[in-house]
């Protein structure tokens, strides 16, 4: 397990009252400051799996939104193609599945070099359904580019995705391109990716596309070729055993982001959503650690006490959570420490309560630690240190 971690930062508080900052710091006086929250936040009494190597992960109940366990859920990192879940959730309702579109050279001009491609070609006519299959099954940045052009352009699409992220209360996400390709400042978190998956799965088309194992894709001249879903827990390829009850959702890889994955599976009528970001080892580790977390979550049963709850969309009556949680009267994302930054380089700030007394002590220790660092930085004339650094300037293929 990681040597240290931050607290579970914007899980909205449940019903317990929020202590004042002064009371939190008073508790912190007796807590160690060297390594705040060395263990993942968890629900119930059973510890989560001990041998996970991912930089961040989160496991939640799909229906209730209750977070069963998490580790650095608001660490802001390059998301790779898992960001395509937000792209799909934003645009799926914009076109009919049967709508046809003939691709031009201009439509493909902006596809980044080295991108993962499904094989979209200029001069071929595709249905919207085929383009979405290219997005979900092959993570095709060429298909994303065409759909974005159909939507009025990449800039418009990025703006709409950022607005959707704000409505979903995905405050860790900063969108630069719709495909998840590595661009400086393109960031998300395990928490936000779980939000995207959970909301997307409410859409029947989203659920159908992400659960499709194979499809036929136009090759021109009346011919087609087969494409297969790159989600190995769904397709069971390259040494990965298919996970029973796997629904989808989306995998990703870049040299900068490493392997990323958000999945959902159903067992005995219960659906869990899990995100695993950048495990240390092996190209199959992201799937192996996902399966381990799902096994653990299903074993806990529905009676496990939640460590927090995923936010609900504002447009659907969700209670607003805030970046700072200071002076605006809004319920903050629980356990956050670092101040927010407009450039997307730092995680959002805020104060809140994790489940149980141990969570309060750990939160207070982390809060005091971060506060000392911020004050030291201000005295030095600098900016507060970032909660998570992520150099997203390396451009590589998004798969």
Q: Which of 84, 116, 339, 345 is catalytic?
A: 84
**One-letter-per-residue 3-state SS of the chain:** CCCCCCCCCEECCCCCCCCCHHHHHHHHCCCCCCCCCCCCEECCCCCCCCCCCCCEEEEEECCCCEEEEEECCCCCECCHHHHHHHHHHHHHHHCCCCCEEECCHHHHCCCCCCCCCCCCCCCCEEEHHHHHHHHHHHCCHHHHHHHHHHCCCHHHHHHHHHHHHHHHCCCCCECCCCCCCCCCCCEECHHHHHHHHHHHCCCHHHHHHHCCCEEEEEEECCEEEEEECCCHHHHCCCCCCCCCCEEEEEEEEECCCEEEEEEEEEECCEEEEEEEECCCCCCCHHHHHHHHHHHHHHHHCCCCCCCEECCCCHHHCCCCEECCCCCCCCEECEECCCCCCCCCCCCCCCCCCCCHHHHHHHHHHHHHHHHHHHHHHHHCCCCCCCCCCCCCCCCCCCC
Known catalytic membership, residue 315: no
Q: Which residue has the tokens 């405050």?
A: 171
**Active-site annotation holds for 16:** no
Check 5, 41, 70, 81 and give the catalytic one.
81
Q: Two tokens at 112?
A: 């980044």
Contact 53, 279 (CB under 8 A): yes
Pairing of strands 214-220, 223-228: antiparallel
**Residue 84 annotated as catalytic:** yes
Contact in structure between 214 and 229 (CB atoms under 8 Å): yes
Pairing mode of beta strands 258-267, 331-332: unpaired
Burial of residue 370, with CB atoms counted within 10 A of its CB: 0-12 exposed, 13-18 middle, 19 or more buried: buried
Q: Are 241 and 284 in contact (CB under 8 A)?
A: no
Taken as a whole, the chain contains a residue count of 399
Active site amino acids: 81, 84, 139
């Amino acid at each position: 397990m990681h040597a240290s971690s931050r607290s579970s930062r914007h899980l909205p508080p449940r019903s317990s009252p929020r202590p004042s900052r002064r009371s939190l710091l008073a508790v912190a006086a007796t807590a160690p400051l060297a390594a705040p929250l060395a263990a993942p936040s968890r629900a119930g009494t059973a510890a989560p799996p001990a041998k996970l190597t991912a930089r961040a992960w989160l496991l939640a109940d799909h229906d209730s939104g209750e977070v069963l366990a998490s580790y650095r859920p608001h660490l802001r990192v390059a998301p790779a193609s898992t960001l395509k879940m937000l792209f799909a959730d934003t645009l799926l309702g914009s076109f009919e599945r049967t709508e046809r579109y003939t691709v031009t050279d201009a439509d493909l001009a902006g596809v980044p070099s080295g991108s993962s491609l499904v094989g979209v070609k200029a001069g071929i006519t595709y249905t919207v359904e085929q383009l979405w299959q290219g997005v979900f099954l092959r993570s095709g940045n060429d298909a994303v580019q065409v759909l974005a052009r159909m939507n009025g352009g990449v800039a418009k699409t990025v703006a709409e995705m950022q607005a959707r992220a704000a409505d979903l209360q995905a405050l860790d996400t900063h969108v630069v391109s719709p495909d998840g390709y590595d661009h400086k400042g393109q960031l998300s978190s395990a928490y936000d990716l779980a939000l995207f998956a959970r909301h997307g799965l409410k859409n029947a088309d989203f659920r159908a596309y992400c659960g499709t194992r194979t499809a036929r894709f136009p090759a021109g001249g009346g011919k087609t070729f087969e494409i297969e879903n790159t989600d190995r827990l769904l397709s069971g390829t390259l040494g990965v055993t298919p996970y029973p009850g796997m629904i989808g959702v989306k995998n990703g890889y870049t040299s900068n982001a490493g392997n990323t994955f958000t999945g959902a599976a159903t067992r005995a009528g219960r659906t869990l959503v899990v995100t695993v970001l950048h495990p240390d080892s092996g190209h199959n580790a992201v799937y192996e650690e996902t399966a381990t977390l799902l096994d653990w979550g299903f074993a806990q049963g529905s009676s496990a006490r939640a460590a927090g709850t995923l936010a609900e969309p504002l447009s659907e009556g969700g209670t607003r959570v805030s970046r700072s949680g200071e002076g605006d009267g809004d319920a903050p994302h629980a356990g956050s420490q670092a101040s927010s930054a407009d450039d997307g380089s730092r995680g959002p700030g805020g104060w809140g309560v994790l489940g149980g007394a141990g969570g309060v002590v750990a939160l207070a220790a982390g809060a005091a630690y971060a506060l000392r660092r911020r004050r030291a930085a201000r005295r030095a004339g600098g900016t507060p240190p970032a909660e998570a650094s992520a150099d997203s300037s390396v451009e590589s293929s998004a798969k």
